[in-house]
Structure 1
């Protein structure tokens, strides 16, 4: 590939998925690349929601402790390069080109040996990431799972620590229709004798994870059982809590984020950080934990873009995340009028998601559409406004930019505008506001 655009076209030109869920292609890629996945110190993070926030919290605590931290995340919010980053800085266009040229000849060999069954887009990108970090660009690499866990292309890694944030309903076409089935897939990242930290998970799916951990002789630490948090009231766009585990308490931990779910995410990250540092015998104190968490911002997760009127974006794209939005509205904005502009991908549970928000008394719901990512269409919500049972009026405006203008003309300075439904959608919105 001669330049960045050619490299991106090559990556995006790969098939998105195959009918069979197999690790064969990824294992072959790793073998032909000399097993770069075995040459990094990794923390592997799975879960329905919360992965991005846990990765961000972990990265900042590890950086505060003096480590160079690589991350592999998805999707990107502003630029593709974000997916492979070092200390939060995306790798360069030139590195994307170099890595594509490194991986492409091997992909071509596999294509020839496996006609119509060659590596997917995500497998190619994952191979690029492992090849890059095997070169020594980071002391530790936090690897975020794409979908599920057991058959995800990242699952060739043998980490120092595994993390499962939450279990909820999403990607059911791949993971099954019960929380226990979904948990079984995500528990696939648990490796023999490798510690695993899990978040606030219901009894049924947690039992599945516990069983897998026992089978693999993997020590397990669970939020609400082995470590705990207690929220403390604090004014402003913050959260404050106390963390406790077998080592004692960490008091007055502050976050520059809003939402109970972020307290849970931070707790999981703290426990994962402590266990990783203890494993590596790297000394730290609680000030490092507090500093790392307080410095963490996570774009697109209940992110404030404007103060007056208050404009918030959130990438909530499944039912568990929409329920957290509902909770935030009730907890923080019950006395204010909320205008919600919502656009969702067609393969999501968009009707139940809309119904949750439509039932809130202080919500004005505006449905819209956006151009989805390559080969993933946005839901056609034009007829949905009339099919949802709601005491509130639901409006449809097909152009999301026009929807923002329309809402802006209706709002007062005391009202709140929340734009949500898809990380891909709020990526477009964020770019508009940041221009």
Structure 2
């Protein structure tokens, strides 16, 4: 698009405050999820294709994306590089999703860039492509910030949903990562794991190396076929690289890493749960590929320091000691399995009090299979979000599931999450453990309330 075309974009009044700009972005949730890249391509062209100036590490997968992104960002920054990170959803404040070296995008920068984008968004909306979605606008905002304001050396770039038709797939990365493929968003991505894998493999680009921890034979075959077609070298967990847990204590785990280029012993992580070994190993393999292909300088000591310093809020995060309250954004059966494993191995308690709230689109029966055998009291509530699941319906499902598996669980229904949290706190004794889990929209509100006594700006 020429400069004349840019100049001819319709004049649209800008926003005066950060709050107005964010309200405009988040109001676009009403346009829903609209897979496809045509609107993103049009918006990027109008803005001068800023995404072509950046080096992206594109991360897709069902579970573990956020933790893997956190490990990558922490180590790259510890090695002296500037690193941008784009993740979703955000827990407390819209700016959380766009960071450089761990610091949120500034409100003034966000306001200025949104005002720059707004005329182009409105012009696209007026045409045959229709309204750009909230996530598309957020993705474009992140690209603009990284390309025109922050200039990071690398951008760790988390996929929103799927991969092939996700708005983040507008970029051509220097490395693609697919953490795993599990049962999630199957109403959009496909009714088999192989179909979901094909969608996630959409981030694979011609000649760009891929790191993955996918395991199921059919899923592996799907990923391998796409990589072969696009002549992209695949580094697969259990084949090209692997890990071996060495030590597992609360807030301290170590593992050995074996890769095609070298081995590393007793790498430390402080995120809890056995699943974090796999997430960290994927990140280390990604860093090893960057060392080999792009001469990323990773000193062993900085690698260890970065892994140990990695934090990821809302995932097995202890946010209160009296009573002990653990937050975890496990929202699908595989996430519940990892949470249950951590509750069996890592944490000690007399009684387990569990507060959960879900969206209506998830597989809750499979989730409850893992959680109910451990729980003494289950408090069912509702997240403040458009697709929330009715608390009474979820409680009915929990009662049915408890009867099927022979679990003795006290089930309490409290749709108001703040009242449910109060009940959780009252019922949790000194030797007990309280867990809040489910959709991150609930985790966001609870975390903000416990830590800051304020409401969150949560959103996808």
TM-score if structure 1 supplies the norm length? 0.94
Who is 1:305 aligned against? 319
1:250 maps onto 2:234 in alignment: no
**Structure 2: gaps (5+ residues):** 1-14, 453-460
1:397 maps onto 2:414 in alignment: yes
Who is 1:343 aligned against? 357
Q: Equivalent of 1:26, from 40, 46, 52?
A: 40
**Contact residue 79 and residue 302 of structure 2 kept, 8 A:** yes
Tell me the distance in 2 between the aligned counterparts of 1:140 and 1:340: 39
1:358 maps onto 2:368 in alignment: no
Equivalence map 1:363-374=2 (5 Å): 363-372=376-385
1:73 maps onto 2:83 in alignment: no
**Contact residue 340 and residue 364 of structure 1 kept, 8 A:** yes
Who is 1:425 aligned against? 442
> Structure 1 residues 238, 200: CA separation in 2 closer, same or farther (over 3 Å shift)?
farther
**Contact residue 358 and residue 394 of structure 1 kept, 8 A:** no
> Structure 1 residues 359, 69: CA separation in 2 closer, same or farther (over 3 Å shift)?
same
Who is 2:146 aligned against? 133
Equivalence map 1:175-194=2 (5 Å): 175-194=189-208
Equivalence map 1:220-235=2 (5 Å): 220-235=234-249
Tell me the distance in 2 between the aligned counterparts of 1:272 and 1:363: 41
Who is 1:285 aligned against? 299
Tell me the distance in 1 between the aligned counterparts of 2:27 and 2:322: 43
What's the secondary structure of 2:380's corresponding residue?
strand
What's the secondary structure of 1:359's corresponding residue?
helix
Q: Equivalent of 1:124, from 137, 144, 149?
A: 137
Tell me the distance in 1 between the aligned counterparts of 2:30 and 2:255: 41
Moved more, 405-414 or 214-223: 405-414
What's the secondary structure of 1:316's corresponding residue?
coil
Q: CA deviation at 1:236?
A: 2.9
Who is 2:174 aligned against? 160
> Structure 1 residues 63, 40: CA separation in 2 closer, same or farther (over 3 Å shift)?
same
Tell me the distance in 1 between the aligned counterparts of 2:167 and 2:393: 38
Tell me the distance in 2 between the aligned counterparts of 1:343 and 1:234: 29
**Contact residue 59 and residue 177 of structure 2 kept, 8 A:** yes
Who is 1:380 aligned against? 390
**Contact residue 34 and residue 133 of structure 2 kept, 8 A:** no
Moved more, 209-218 or 134-143: 134-143
Q: CA deviation at 1:335?
A: 6.1
Q: CA deviation at 1:18?
A: 6.2
> Structure 1 residues 14, 412: CA separation in 2 closer, same or farther (over 3 Å shift)?
closer
Q: CA deviation at 1:16?
A: 4.8
**Contact residue 200 and residue 224 of structure 1 kept, 8 A:** no
Aligned length: 430
> Structure 1 residues 16, 47: CA separation in 2 closer, same or farther (over 3 Å shift)?
farther
What's the secondary structure of 2:169's corresponding residue?
helix
Moved more, 336-345 or 153-162: 336-345
**Contact residue 308 and residue 414 of structure 1 kept, 8 A:** no
What's the secondary structure of 2:266's corresponding residue?
strand
> Structure 1 residues 383, 83: CA separation in 2 closer, same or farther (over 3 Å shift)?
closer
1:84 maps onto 2:98 in alignment: yes
Tell me the distance in 2 between the aligned counterparts of 1:231 and 1:308: 31
Tell me the distance in 2 between the aligned counterparts of 1:284 and 1:369: 44
**Contact residue 353 and residue 435 of structure 2 kept, 8 A:** yes
Tell me the distance in 2 between the aligned counterparts of 1:342 and 1:58: 30
CA deviation vs aligned residue, 1:377-421 (integer Å, no higher than 9, x gap): 311021443442312232212222222322333332111111010
What's the secondary structure of 2:73's corresponding residue?
helix
